[in-house]
Amino acid sequence: MKRPSLPLTVGALFASFFALVLAQPFSRTVFAQSPAQPQSAPEKSASVEQGKFILHKFEQPIGEETYQITREGDSLSAKIDFKFTDRSTPVPLTAAFRSANDLTPSAFEIKGKNSRSTDIDEAVVVQTDKIRLRDRDKWTEAARPAQFFTIAGYAPTTMQMLLVRYWATHGSPAQLATLPRGQVKVEPRGSDSVSIDGKPQKFDRCTIEGLIWGRETLWFDANRNLVAAVTTDAEFDHFEAIREGYESGLGTFVGLAGSDGMAALADISKGISGSRAEKIALVGGTLIDGTGRDPVPDSVVVIERGRIIDAGPKSRVKIPSGAQSVDARGKTILPGLWDMHAHFEQVEWGPIYLAAGATTVRDCGNEFEFITAVRDAVGNGRGLGPRLLLAGIVDGTGPSAIGVARVDTPEQAKMWTDKYHDAGFQQMKIYSSVKLEELKDVADEAHRLGMTVTGHVPIGLNAYQTIEAGQDQINHIPYIVDIMVPPLPDDASRLDHANARANLDLNSPEARKAISFLVERGTVVDPTIALFEFFTASTAKPAASIEPGVVKVAPQLQAILADVGPPSPNADIDEKVFAKELAVIGALHKAGVPIVAGTDQTVPGHSLHREIELYVQAGFTPMEAIQAATIVPARVMGLDKELGTVEAGKRADVMILAANPLESIHNIRKVEFVITNGTMYNCAELWRSVGFQP
C-alpha cells in the first residue's frame, strides 16, 4: 500500500526552498548560482563553506568530522576528515569529492575505517559516457546514469548533506542512483521545533533510505545546512552526527527519529496482508502450545480482541459466530518467540522480528529517548513491531565505556536506576566498565524497586563477584566458561585464555563448582551462542555456510555480513572454543540453569532461529529449545501468566509455521504468519517491507 503523500505545504516548501536557495548570495550556500546563469571568469581556489560535526555513539561524543568546500572556476571540491574512538579503538576516515557547481559529481574517493572491524577504500571517476569504479585494488567500469550522486554508506556526514542538496536541486527524483553502488530514496518528513540551548529553532526533517539498511533521519536549517543526522554505523550501533553548537538538541533529535520511523512503518503495515478481524479462529493446524504437552492435531485456536479464548482439539473447541476462519491444515501453531538479547537500534528491526515469529524482545541497552519512543509507539498501536521489554544500560568511566549513563558513585547509581524504573524499564543492564561497588549499588536499588539486573561481567571482575553483588542474569556464555577453567596467571595471553577454554573439562572441580553456584543462585543465562558461532566465519568458512539467512538480508547488510577475512592462525582453537561453549550450554541446561534465547543482533531475524537450532545441537530436545524462546523467558520476566504459551486467557502472541519443528528443529525457520496485538501478518511481506527476501 502506498504511503499517503505528505501535505502539499510540507513537500512543496521543502523542495521550493532548495530552488530558492540557488538564488541566494554565494556566501550563504555552496550553490552560488543556477547552472543556467553565466559564469564568471575562472578564479583561484576560494573557500565556500566549512563546518564541524560532533560524532556520537549511543549519544556519547566520541569524535569529530570537519569539512571544507572550495571553489575553483566552475567546480567545487570538498575535503572531509572523519574520526572517532569507539571503546578504545580509533576509527579514522577521509573523503574527497569534486563536482560541477550544481553538485553533479566528477570524482569521489573514500578511505579508512567505518567501524572498529571494517574498512573502506573506494573511488569513483566520472567520464563523459561511463563511470570508473575502484574497490581497493580492483577497477571496473559502468555506464553513466542520467542522474546520480557519489556516496558510500553512513559516513562521512558531509556527503549526506551534499546528497540531499543535489537531490533537491535536480528535480527531487523518487529514486536516485548512487555510486559506487545502489540507489537511495530521499523523503521530506515535515519540520520540527527543537530547543537549542533553551531557544526553540525550526528544522526541516527528511529521511534517506538505501545508504545503510533502513532509514536515516536528517535535519536541515533554513540555509540548508545539515544540523543533525541520526543513523547507525557499520556495526549497526546507534550513531549521531550533530553540527557544532547544536549538541543540546541531541536527545530530542534521537527521540524524534524513533517516533517518525515507527510512524512510517505503521503506514507500511497497512498494506501487509493478514487479518485484523476482531475474532479469528485458526482451524485444522497442529497445536504445539509450549507447555510441554503433546501436540494437538486438527486443533482450533480462537482469538478475540488479541486474547486467546480457547485452544484445543477441534472436537472440543467451539468456533464463535462471526469469527474469521483461517485454514491452518498442514500448518503448525506455536507461541510467538522471544529474543532475550536485542538491541533495537533502528525501526526496521520491528518488521524483521515479527517476520521471524518473535512477538516479544528484551532490549539489552539502548538510547533512552529512542527506545522509549519506539516502545510507546508499538504499545499504542502507532508502530510495527514486537512487544518491547527494556533493560536500562549503565557503564562506568573508562576507555571501553559506552553510552552516557555513568555510574561512578552511589548517587549516580541511584539516579540512573530510578530514571529507568520511572520510565517503565523492567531491568538494569550492567556494561563492561562498572566497578564492583557501583554494581552493588545498582543491584540494591533495582531490587528495592522490583527490577532485576542483567548484563556483562565488567572488566577485572568474574561472574562469581557480579552474581554475589546482586546481578541476576548473565549475558554471553564466555563469561560462564571463564569461571569454569582453572585460574591463569595475571600475565596470561589471549591465546593462553583461548587454550584454557578449548580444553575445559566439564567434570573438573572448577566446572562443577560453577554449575552448582549458578543453580543455587537461580542465575539466568542468555548465551548468544549464534553470535559466537558467527565469529568463526572466514573466507574458508563463509558466513552463509554458518547462517544461510545472510543471503536473504538487505543488500547493504549482506555486503557487511559476508565480508570476512582469511582464517586466523588460531582458527582451530576458535572452533574448539565454540564447541566447548556449546557443551557448557548443554551442561547448564541439564543442571537446571534457566537458558533464554537471545541473539545480540548478529543476522537480523535469522539468528534467533539459529540460536534455537544450536540449543538442540547442545542437547536440548526440540521442545526444550522452543521453550527457551517462549515460556522460559516469560517466566524469567514474570510474564508467564500473560505470555509464553498458547492457552486460554493469555495474549494471542502466536506464529503459524509451514512444518513441525518437533520433527526437525530447522522447521522453526518456516514462519508463514505471526499474530500479535490482535493482528495477523503475512511474514513474507514483512520481510520484503524492509528489503529482505522471504
Give CATH for domain 365-470.
3.40.50
Coil, strand, or helix at residue 223? coil
As given in the structure block, the three cell numbers for residue 306 are 488479541
Predicted pLDDT at 164: 97
Predicted pLDDT at 43: 53
664 vs 623: CA distance, rounded Å:
11
611-629: average pLDDT: 98
Evaluate if residue 7 carries a pLDDT over 50. no
pTM: 0.89
The model's pLDDT over 135-156, given as tens digits with 9 standing for 90+, comes to 999 999 999 999 999 999 999 9
427-440: average pLDDT: 98
492-503: average pLDDT: 95
124-141: average pLDDT: 96
Place 563 in a pLDDT band, splitting at 50, 70 and 90: confident
Range with lowest mean pLDDT among 121-135, 264-278, 433-447, 619-633: 264-278
The model's pLDDT over 623-635, given as tens digits with 9 standing for 90+, comes to 999 999 999 999 9
339: nearest Cα among 91, 16, 628: 628
User: Torsions phi, psi of 648, nearest 5?
Assistant: -55, 135
Sign of CA dihedral 632, 634, 638, 639: negative
259 vs 183: CA distance, rounded Å:
25
214 vs 345: CA distance, rounded Å:
11
256-272: average pLDDT: 91
410-432: average pLDDT: 98
The model's pLDDT over 38-95, given as tens digits with 9 standing for 90+, comes to 334 445 678 889 999 999 999 999 999 999 999 999 999 999 999 999 999 999 999 9
User: Is the link from the previous residue into 487 a cis peptide, with omega within 30 of 0?
Assistant: no
Location of C-alpha cell 561524543? 61
Location of C-alpha cell 527506545? 371
Predicted pLDDT at 44: 64
Predicted pLDDT at 13: 33
681: nearest Cα among 355, 344, 231: 355
334 vs 667: CA distance, rounded Å:
12
Amino acid at 220: F
Predicted pLDDT at 29: 34
| Distance separating the N- and C-terminal Cα atoms of the chain | 18
217-240: average pLDDT: 94
Place 322 in a pLDDT band, splitting at 50, 70 and 90: very high
The model's pLDDT over 169-178, given as tens digits with 9 standing for 90+, comes to 999 999 999 9
Rounded to whole angstroms, what are the CA distances from 89 to 83, 92, 116, 238, 595? 11, 10, 6, 17, 32
Total residue length of the chain: 694
Domain span(s) for CATH 3.40.50 in the chain: 365-470
As given in the structure block, the three cell numbers for residue 378 are 508499538
Count CB-CB contacts under 10 A for residue 477: 23
Predicted pLDDT at 404: 95
User: Torsions phi, psi of 150, nearest 5?
Assistant: -105, 125
Evaluate if residue 512 carries a pLDDT over 90. yes
184-188: average pLDDT: 96
Count CB-CB contacts under 10 A for residue 19: 12
559: nearest Cα among 213, 302, 223, 294: 213
Evaluate if residue 33 carries a pLDDT over 50. no
366-395: average pLDDT: 95
The model's pLDDT over 423-432, given as tens digits with 9 standing for 90+, comes to 999 999 999 9
Cα 595-596-598 angle, rounded to 5 deg: 130
612 and 626 in contact (C-beta within 8 Å)?
A: yes
183-196/199-209 β-pairing:
antiparallel
User: Torsions phi, psi of 372, nearest 5?
Assistant: -70, -35
User: Torsions phi, psi of 677, nearest 5?
Assistant: 50, 35
The DSSP symbol for 398 reads: S
Evaluate if residue 373 carries a pLDDT over 70. yes
Predicted pLDDT at 236: 85
477 vs 523: CA distance, rounded Å:
12
Residue 487 vs residue 284, higher pLDDT = 284
545 vs 568: CA distance, rounded Å:
17
Q: For 523, what's the count of Cα atoms within 13 Å in the CB-facing half-sphere?
A: 31
